[in-house]
Structure 1
Amino acid sequence: MANPPANMQTYGVPIYAADWVPEEIVRSKIDKDQKKSEDDGESSSSPSSSRRYIVLPGGGGGGNSGIANVILICGVDLEANSLSEEPLVRFVVGTDLPYRMAVHSREGGLICAFSKSCKLYDWETIMRPREDNEVVVEAEGVITELRDVGQQLALAFNQEGSVLAAGGEDGFLRVFKWPSMESLLNESQAHASVKSLTFSESGKFLASLGGPLCRVWEVNAAAAAAVATLSRENDETFASCRFSVDSAGNEVLYIAANTGRGGSIITWDTTTWRRRRSKLIRNNSISAFNVSADGKLLGIGTLEGDVLIIDSTRMQPIQVVRKAHLGLVTALTFSPDSRGLVSVSFDSRVRLTVIEPKGEKGGMRLWVVVLLFVLLYIVSYYFMEAKGMIRQKSP
């Protein structure tokens, strides 16, 4: 049986979320540990200049599945288009599944949503050496304000890491200052169920999505208040939302929706809160959605396991990886430099898709078109000459 490609690895647990480990403190610690391993004679990995790290929560949940609930940290090498064969860190969290996650933009650690409560883990705790399958104390790290609040389906920090939003399966939306946890919003009926949260780059707006509606909240230092309600049209079902910027540098809100014809991306104006356009992407339902940091690319994962990378200006797919996963894509995230996309799934697979430079692909297509045109011209000329349609020149 052939070995899997280096850009696809199976880590043994269903994976539910994915995000990048902040550089600075965390990366320097992992690099130091990697260097120590190399000095001890272990095989060296790729140069640190091309190495990134990604954090992945997942597991088998409660019961007797035999699959641990863990937080994994894995290596990503964009230059080599590869993932580490084994997780660099395997942190066992207990009998409950870390179903959702939000990573602080700096060194503030990460928050995981479990079935009843949310817990905060600092990077030192996650990366501290442990015995195999050693489990942390169940109560460790539980956030008091998010204790016994039920399953949270969405967690998000603003870009500065100064505000945290949590949306529950019960439709409850909570917004806090971070790290003081001073309440900015406590809305018990924001949605029937909150499925997606996203902050605008400025941090001024928070979009919450659930059921047939997407609501927009204006967030300031004192409170958060609703400013707009965005409704579906026809048979649309909203699946995910993300703030970004367009090619002119203006802030936009994208909503991924599913219809009877397939998935579509709706672009909203953040001044008028009206639709700019809606684009049907393909005939498969969207299960995961994200936007690159530079706003130029959209990433889509489907129920069938496909991954699509879309040009946000033309709204056309520029890369399609069919059957990237064996089942639905649970999450995907672009690298901070927008050079790669990592997708994850219930199938325990993690896949890296490196973004192909537009110039190379476009240039190749242009040369093919030109060559075909020249060949067609030559063949047509000799055909018409043979049929007497073109008078032959006298010697």
Structure 2
Amino acid sequence: MDGADSSGQGTVMCATWIRRPENAHVVIVGKLTPPVLEIFSYHPITTSLSTSPKGRFEFEEGVEPVTIVAHPSGDAVVCSTTTGGCKLFEIYFKGENVELVVKESIPLQDVGPQKCLAFSVDGSKLATGGVDGHLKMFEWPNMSITLDEPRAHKSFQDMDFSLDSEFLATTSTDGSARIWQTNGGPLTTLTRNADENIELCRFSKNGTQPFLFCTVQKGNRSLTVVWDISTWKRIGYRTLLKKPAALMSISLDGKYLALGSKDGDICVVEVKKMEVRHLTRRLHLGSSIGTLEFCPSDRVILTTSREWGVMATKLNVPVDWKEWQIYLLLLGLFLASVVVFYIFFENSDSFWNFPQPGRPKIDSVLGDPKSDDKWSEL
């Protein structure tokens, strides 16, 4: 199955995966009319979401969800709203049901309208990027402010933490991009030509390639440009989606990069070779992709749009080897070597049951094996 749409009424605004032990992940969806957050279970065999929500939270009148981010632990989510504040929810799993409990957080209530929310990979930091260009960074979970930049950008477009949680990359609606030290402040501004707009950003996550990927609009050309984060210099670019991208995402293991277009297409790129491995056109026909996020454990991607709702799409990429499959292969090779050695041993013709080419058979040297000769007399 290429994709599956969750049931339920309401225009979908945002969604994200919530990680669970044993890969029993769930998806939280923010909807309008009425404004609610709903949690659906995910079925990996059918690549689909449950038809009815396992948990639900209804916003008060006049409050609507805008964007949402889940903590890496899976026990909390932060949701920005149209009223200018963010709500912090603690998540409790009770059998088949899930409960969302609002937790009071004064620092988040006063942040204003937010365009971007992001947790660091280790879960120790939360960054918020405002519509007014205000950047704030909080320690998690005490919510103390570690970075406060009222004029970080004209208005935020995108943001992402590096794998080691030392850097934060941010982009602006005016085409600029900046790098921040999470324990310091502004580090550098990415260089660009006068006809270039840097729009989206994602750090590499495989632990071996210290790169930053950005989508760059250069006139009518849509490029994916790579920066080396040790020097913050460009090292290359590729034309991948071939049209303006609305969202960018990277898998947790860093092997795949995804781009979602403003007219409903998605493409998935193998990072090692920077080649497209999956392309689905018109997944959200005519609608801009509003959510683009890899499943924490499977090669499945979550997408949303206002017109077509939320979809889980299985990717046409090579199957990854599971840990138990590797151990099974090694065990099979070991058993095969034992069998080969046993056959080799049983069919050898020397006294020690190992072949020794060029030597005569043992009975031709010692004579009749039935004789009374003793080995000690040789």
TM range (shorter): 0.7 to 0.9
Corresponding residue of 1:7: 4
Superposed CA offset, 1:129-163 (max 9, x none): 79xxxxx9xxx545211323321111111122211
Q: What is the rounded CA distance, in whole Å, between the counterparts of 1:144 and 1:282 in structure 2?
A: 41
For 1:215, give the aligned amino acid: R
Q: Cα distance 1:238–1:218, how it changes in 2: closer, same or farther (>3 A)? A: same
Corresponding residue of 2:113: 151
Corresponding residue of 1:170: 132
Superposed CA offset, 1:219-243 (max 9, x none): 22xxx21111113335332222111
For 2:229, give the aligned amino acid: T
Superposed CA offset, 1:193-239 (max 9, x none): 1222211111111112112211111122xxx2111111333533222
Contact 1:17 1:332 survives alignment (8 Å): no
Q: Which of 25, 37, 41 pairs up with 1:52?
A: 25
> Which stretch of structure 1 is more off in the superposition, 332-341 or 276-285?
276-285
> Structure 1: any 5+ residue segments left out of the alignment?
25-48, 60-66, 131-135, 361-395
CA-CA distance at 1:117 after TM superposition: 0.8
For 2:146, give the aligned amino acid: L
Q: What is the rounded CA distance, in whole Å, between the counterparts of 2:2 and 2:225 in structure 1?
A: 34
2:215 paired with 1:282: no
Corresponding residue of 2:358: none
For 1:313, give the aligned amino acid: K
Corresponding residue of 2:67: 100
Q: Cα distance 1:257–1:12, how it changes in 2: closer, same or farther (>3 A)? A: farther
Q: Cα distance 1:122–1:50, how it changes in 2: closer, same or farther (>3 A)? A: closer
Q: What is the rounded CA distance, in whole Å, between the counterparts of 2:222 and 2:81 in structure 1?
A: 29
Q: Which of 136, 145, 150 pairs up with 1:183?
A: 145
Superposed CA offset, 1:16-41 (max 9, x none): 333221214xxxxxxxxxxxxxxxxx
Q: What is the rounded CA distance, in whole Å, between the counterparts of 2:20 and 2:179 in structure 1?
A: 31
Contact 1:242 1:291 survives alignment (8 Å): yes
2:262 paired with 1:300: no
Q: What is the aligned residue count?
A: 314
2:123 paired with 1:161: yes
Corresponding residue of 1:381: none
Provide the secondary structure at the position in 2 that maps to 1:293.
coil
Contact 1:6 1:83 survives alignment (8 Å): no
For 2:16, give the aligned amino acid: D
Q: Cα distance 1:300–1:214, how it changes in 2: closer, same or farther (>3 A)? A: same
Q: What is the rounded CA distance, in whole Å, between the counterparts of 1:245 and 1:251 in structure 2?
A: 8
Provide the secondary structure at the position in 2 that maps to 1:289.
strand
Q: Which has the larger radius of gyration?
A: 2
CA-CA distance at 1:50 after TM superposition: 6.7
Q: What is the rounded CA distance, in whole Å, between the counterparts of 2:215 and 2:12 in structure 1?
A: 21
Corresponding residue of 1:269: 228
Corresponding residue of 1:114: 81
Q: Which of 249, 255, 260 pairs up with 2:219?
A: 260
Q: What is the rounded CA distance, in whole Å, between the counterparts of 2:49 and 2:221 in structure 1?
A: 31
For 1:105, give the aligned amino acid: P
CA-CA distance at 1:120 after TM superposition: 0.5
Provide the secondary structure at the position in 2 that maps to 1:102.
strand
> Which stretch of structure 1 is more off in the superposition, 342-351 or 258-267?
258-267
Q: Cα distance 1:18–1:251, how it changes in 2: closer, same or farther (>3 A)? A: farther
Q: Output aligned runs, 1:65-76, within 5 Å.
A: 67-76=33-42
Q: Output aligned runs, 1:304-319, within 5 Å.
A: 304-319=263-278
CA-CA distance at 1:51 after TM superposition: 4.5
Q: What is the rounded CA distance, in whole Å, between the counterparts of 2:288 and 2:316 in structure 1?
A: 24
Superposed CA offset, 1:26-80 (max 9, x none): xxxxxxxxxxxxxxxxxxxxxxx67431112232xxxxxxx11111212222232
Contact 1:293 1:338 survives alignment (8 Å): no
2:313 paired with 1:353: yes
Q: What is the rounded CA distance, in whole Å, between the counterparts of 1:80 and 1:359 in structure 2?
A: 16
Corresponding residue of 2:16: 19
Contact 2:19 2:25 survives alignment (8 Å): no
Provide the secondary structure at the position in 2 that maps to 1:195.
strand
Contact 1:16 1:58 survives alignment (8 Å): yes
TM-score w.r.t. length of structure 1: 0.73
Corresponding residue of 1:27: none
For 2:58, give the aligned amino acid: V
> Which stretch of structure 1 is more off in the superposition, 233-242 or 171-180?
233-242
TM-score w.r.t. length of structure 2: 0.76
Q: Which of 216, 222, 227 pairs up with 2:187?
A: 227
Contact 1:102 1:112 survives alignment (8 Å): yes
Contact 2:2 2:313 survives alignment (8 Å): no
Superposed CA offset, 1:69-125 (max 9, x none): 111212222232222223332321223121122211115411111131111011139
> Structure 2: any 5+ residue segments left out of the alignment?
321-378
Q: CA RMSD in A?
A: 2.6
Q: What is the rounded CA distance, in whole Å, between the counterparts of 1:99 and 1:19 in structure 2?
A: 12
2:167 paired with 1:205: yes
Superposed CA offset, 1:297-350 (max 9, x none): 111111111111112233222111111113110111101125111111111422
